[in-house]
C-alpha cells in the first residue's frame, strides 16, 4: 500500500473533519500529493493538492474557503481539513501522489483506498 487515507465518518452539516493520508517512502518521493473525491454516480473530482517542496497548495473552486490541504514532511502525512461541511460533500475521499499538479485523476501514479465522508443535513 503506497497511500493510506483515514479520518472519514458520519458528520452533520456545518461540522468539521480532518482527513489524513499516510505516504509510504515510495509515494513520498512524488512531488505532489492530492485529494480527490467521488460521490455515488459521479466522476472522481479534484479537491486539493500540495507540493512537498515549498508546500504550495491548489484547491478546487467548489471547496475554496472551506477545505485546506497541508503536509507534515517529517511524519510523511498529508491532511485535508474540512470545514462547513455540506450534504453535497458526501463522497469517498482519496489521496493520490504524482509528479505534477494535475486536476484529473489520470495524472497521479499512486492512490489510497479512500475514506468515506457522509454529511447529514
3-state per-residue secondary structure call for 24-64: CHHHHCCCEEEEEEECCCCCCEEEEEEECCCCCEEECHHHC
Q: What confidence tens digit (pLDDT) does each residue in 77-115 have?
A: 999 999 999 999 999 999 999 989 999 999 998 898 999
Give residue 27's pLDDT: 57
Higher pLDDT, 73 or 116: 116
Q: What confidence tens digit (pLDDT) does each residue in 24-71 have?
A: 766 566 789 999 999 999 999 999 999 887 778 889 998 999 999 998
DSSP bridge partners of 36: 46, 94
Give residue 26's pLDDT: 64
Is the pLDDT score of 121 beyond 80? yes
Going by pLDDT thresholds of 50, 70 and 90, the confidence category of residue 6 is very high
Cα separation of 105 and 17, whole Å? 23
Amino acid at each position: 500500500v503506497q497511500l493510506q487515507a483515514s479520518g472519514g465518518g458520519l458528520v452533520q452539516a456545518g461540522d468539521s473533519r480532518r482527513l489524513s493520508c499516510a505516504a509510504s517512502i515510495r509515494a513520498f518521493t512524488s512531488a505532489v500529493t492530492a485529494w480527490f473525491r467521488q460521490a455515488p454516480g459521479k466522476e472522481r473530482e479534484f479537491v486539493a493538492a500540495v507540493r512537498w517542496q515549498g508546500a504550495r497548495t491548489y484547491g478546487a473552486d467548489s471547496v475554496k474557503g472551506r477545505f485546506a490541504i497541508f503536509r507534515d514532511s517529517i511524519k510523511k502525512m498529508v491532511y485535508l481539513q474540512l470545514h462547513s461541511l455540506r450534504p453535497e460533500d458526501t463522497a469517498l475521499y482519496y489521496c493520490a501522489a504524482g509528479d505534477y499538479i494535475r486536476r484529473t485523476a489520470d495524472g497521479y501514479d499512486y492512490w489510497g483506498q479512500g475514506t468515506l465522508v457522509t454529511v447529514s443535513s
